[in-house]
Amino acid sequence: MAQHGGRPCRRTARRRRRTRGDIVSLFHSHAHDHAHHGHGHDHHHHAHHGAPQPPGAFRLRVAVAVVCVLVALAVASFVQVRAGEASVITRFGRPVRVLLEPGLAWRLPAPIDAVTPVDLRLHTTSSGLQDVGTRDGLRIIVEAYVAWRVPADARDIGRFMRAVGNEPDEAARQIRSLVGSALQTTSAGYDLASLVNTDPAQVKIGEFEEALRRQIDAQLYAAYGVRVAQVGLERLTLPAVTLAATVDRMSAERETVAAQRTADGNREAAQIRSDAERDARIALADANVKAAGIEAQSRKDAADIYGKSYAGNPHLYTMLRSLDTLNAVVGTNTNLILRTDAAPFRVLVQGPADAPAQAAPAPKTHKAAR
């Protein structure tokens, strides 16, 4: 019984060992699959059941990591400078370099070196409306603009950063305040008539703007390292009181101009009249001279004609002269009572043929008249 009972025990033990081996094999297979899907870099380690890892793979991974770190450091060490900007390199907060040329430059990676861009383009700032006084005690309201930029110079850029911390808005605020003060100072050197006038020759706006630009440029450069490119007046208005005074002044100026022009017109008119009268007198004198010459010549010609007529027919000549005398003496509605034998009426009574006897003394009388 003992032997028969012992054989089944040995077979059972062999079955148990085979079952245990199958379970261990299944466990290793499951562990291998899990490691393959969850940890790809340990695949060979689990697949070979703890086989030693090749030393080249580890060195490769280390080399790749080092290269990636070096590339990242190299990329972080490059600085791009854009056109119209300057880049200030600061090392632990202290400026060490200023890059002005556009392009790529090198720096130490952060946090050792930091890059601060500075805008070098033209900026425009308005002063806002400012109530200022002129030299003649009147008030005006003006608004000016300032075109400014940071010069492309390392010292000026450093001064700008120290003054306003590279903040354009802060720079504009301080520039606006400075322009207001400069307007007060500059306007005190000009009369209102130099800024507002109907005569363009009296207006000095350009001179005012240039004086304002010089003052603002000197103050901004000394304080902030900023240069002023242009200053101009955007608006110039007058308060009610100043406007009334300006209207009165302009009216007085217009009246003065009108009076001056009236006086000039009267003077020119008098000169024209004087010249015209002088020319008229000269022309009249010339005409009188010419008329006298013509009259003398006509009298001479008439005397020649009379002489020829008398020589040709003395009786006819005497009668015609008598008729001319009657025509000159007797007018319209004239009544004369004269002797019929008195000259020149004798010819009307006697006729030229009846008076041959009286015609003879005529030459003697003519000679006596001469």
Residues 212 and 141 in one domain: yes
Three-state SS at 87: strand
Residues 110 and 187 in one domain: no
Does residue 186 register a pLDDT over 90?
A: yes
Task: Render 325-340 in DSSP notation, one character per residue.
Answer: HHHHH--TT------T
Residues 110 and 135 in one domain: no
> What tens digit of pLDDT does each residue of 130-166 get?
999 999 888 889 999 999 998 988 888 888 888 887 7
Residue 62 in any domain: the answer is: no
Domain boundary pick from 176, 206, 238? 238
Residues 144 and 193 in one domain: yes
- Which pLDDT does position 111 carry in this prediction? 76
- Which pLDDT does position 4 carry in this prediction? 40
Least confident of 71-75, 221-225, 241-245, 289-293: 71-75
Residues 91 and 173 in one domain: no
- Which pLDDT does position 309 carry in this prediction? 74
Residue 305 in any domain: the answer is: no
Q: pLDDT > 90: what percent of the chain? A: 27
Domain that holds residue 346: 313-369
Instruction: Indicate the pLDDT class of residue 95, thresholds 50, 70 and 90.
Output: confident
Residues 103 and 161 in one domain: no
In this structure, what is the dihedral angle of CA atoms 50, 52, 56, 59, given to the nearest 10 degrees?
A: 70
What count of residues does the chain have? 370
Name which of 286, 175, 268 is nearest 228 in CA terms: 175
Residues 129 and 234 in one domain: yes
- Number of structural domains found in the chain: 3
Q: Who has greater pLDDT, 361 or 66?
A: 66
Residue 167 in any domain: the answer is: yes
Rounded to an integer, the average pLDDT of 195-222 is: 90
Residue 274 in any domain: the answer is: no
Domain boundary pick from 238, 254, 287? 238
Domain boundary pick from 238, 263, 278? 238
Least confident of 19-33, 242-256, 266-280, 343-357: 19-33
Rounded to an integer, the average pLDDT of 201-227 is: 92
Residue 182 in any domain: the answer is: yes
> What tens digit of pLDDT does each residue of 249-265 get?
778 888 888 999 999 99
Residues 201 and 132 in one domain: yes
Residue 193 in any domain: the answer is: yes
Find out whether 128 and 122 touch, Cβ atoms under 8 Å.
Answer: no
Does residue 185 register a pLDDT over 50?
A: yes
Residues 174 and 79 in one domain: no
Rounded to an integer, the average pLDDT of 115-139 is: 89
Average pLDDT, the chain: 76
Does residue 25 register a pLDDT over 70?
A: no
Name which of 131, 121, 125 is nearest 231 in CA terms: 125
Find out whether 320 and 301 touch, Cβ atoms under 8 Å.
Answer: no
Residues 150 and 229 in one domain: yes
Residue 51 in any domain: the answer is: no
Residue 281 in any domain: the answer is: no
Least confident of 28-42, 80-94, 260-274: 28-42
Does residue 303 register a pLDDT over 50?
A: yes
Kindly state the tokens that stand for 100. 């002005």
Three-state SS at 131: strand
Residues 188 and 83 in one domain: no
Residue showing tokens 């242009």 = 230
pTM: 0.48
Residues 181 and 88 in one domain: no
